[in-house]
Amino acid sequence: MTQTATATAKKTVHLIIERQDGPNSKPYTQEFLVDYVPGMNVIACLMAIQRNPVDKDGNPVAPVVWEMNCLEEVCGACMMVINGKPRQACSAIVDQLEQPIRLKPARTFPVVRDLIVDRSRMFDALKRVKAWIPIDGTYDLGPGPRMPEVDRQWAYELSRCFTCGACVEACPNVNERTSFIGPFAISQARLFNEHPTGKMHRQERLEALMGEGGIHECGNAQNCVQVCPKGIPLTTSIAAMNRQVNAYAIGSWLKK
């Protein structure tokens, strides 16, 4: 085989990336070709573009930026829209994707640059529902109550949420006309309400879910459960919290 024949026979990966230079600049798309490496993921493609930032036609461009940390689907940072679905770039294996691979930022969130989005609203939502267990005090409170094993098993599933935002991106009711906090926050409220020590602040979480952008904004489109990379039963969490919130609302009204 001649030199050129080997070059054309060499497998490449074709990517179409929606880019944006800054929070307020206009999006544009660029196409890239990177050398195929067996088993590579979308992150590896982005790294290849970073090493040699030229577009499909060989013109030099600014390298594409994205967020990543763990590279093993436990941090949630590399969530982006890949071939139309919000997912983690690290676990998006090129061999399993249709080409050209289309990458877009998750536009439910404000875009910082290229594929980087600002997910602050998720952390604000977690603060709103008090997704933690307050144990700080002026003296040692001793060990907390034990958790029944049957509950620990499903609660563990919920604890795997890494705040990636895929469920928020896919939800039709998270939009500029509503203030919905998003499916994950409801699931986290359920997780901490189930914990024997977390239960002590149950009311505050239920009050938050009755507040602005709370659980009533959910319209049961159930996209969240389809896209969650951790397979978290979000729709079960939402229904379970509907039960808790409604029972609490009716109960507290009758007590007043």
Partner 1 sequence: MAQMKPHTEYLLRRLHTLSGVIPVGLFLLEHLFTNATATKGAASFNNAVDAIQSIPLLPYIEFFFIFLPLVYHGVVGLYVAFTSGYNAGKYSWWRNVMFVLQRITGIITFVFIIYHTWTTRFSGKAPTFDMVHQLVSNPAYLWFMIIGVVAATFHFANGMWSFCVHWGITVGARAQRVTAYVSMLLFVVLAGIGIDAILAFTHSA
Residues making contact with partner 1 (CB under 8 A): 84-85, 170-175, 177-179, 207, 210-212, 214-223, 225-227, 233, 235-236, 238-247, 249
Contact of residue 216 among partner 1, ligand SF4, none (CB under 5-8 Å per partner type) = partner 1
Please state, in angstroms and as integers, the Cα–Cα distance from residue 217 to each residue in 145, 240, 250, following that order.
34, 15, 18
105 binds ligand SF4 per the rule CB under 6 A: no
Contacts of 193 (CB under 8 A, 6+ apart): 199, 202, 205, 206, 241, 244
Cβ neighbours around 217 below 10 Å, total: 16
Q: Rounded distance, CA 29 to CA 203, Å?
A: 48
121 binds ligand SF4 per the rule CB under 6 A: no
Characterize 120-134 residue by residue with b for buried, 16 or more Cβ atoms within 10 angstroms of its Cβ, and e for exposed: ebbeebbebbbbeee
CB of 91 or CB of 246, closer to ligand SF4: 91
Cβ of residue 232: shortest distance to partner 1, in angstroms? Answer: 12
Contact of residue 184 among partner 1, ligand SF4, none (CB under 5-8 Å per partner type) = ligand SF4
Bin 73: left if φ > 0, else alpha if -120 < ψ < 50, else beta: left
Cβ of residue 224: shortest distance to partner 1, in angstroms? Answer: 10
The site string for ligand SF4 over 127-166 (x = CB under 6 A, - otherwise) reads ----------------------------------xxxxxx
Q: Which two tokens stand for residue 98?
A: 């249709």
Contact of residue 219 among ligand SF4, partner 1, none (CB under 5-8 Å per partner type) = partner 1
189 binds ligand SF4 per the rule CB under 6 A: no
Cβ of residue 227: shortest distance to partner 1, in angstroms? Answer: 8
Residues that bind ligand SF4 (CB under 6 A): 76, 161-167, 184, 187, 227-230, 232, 234
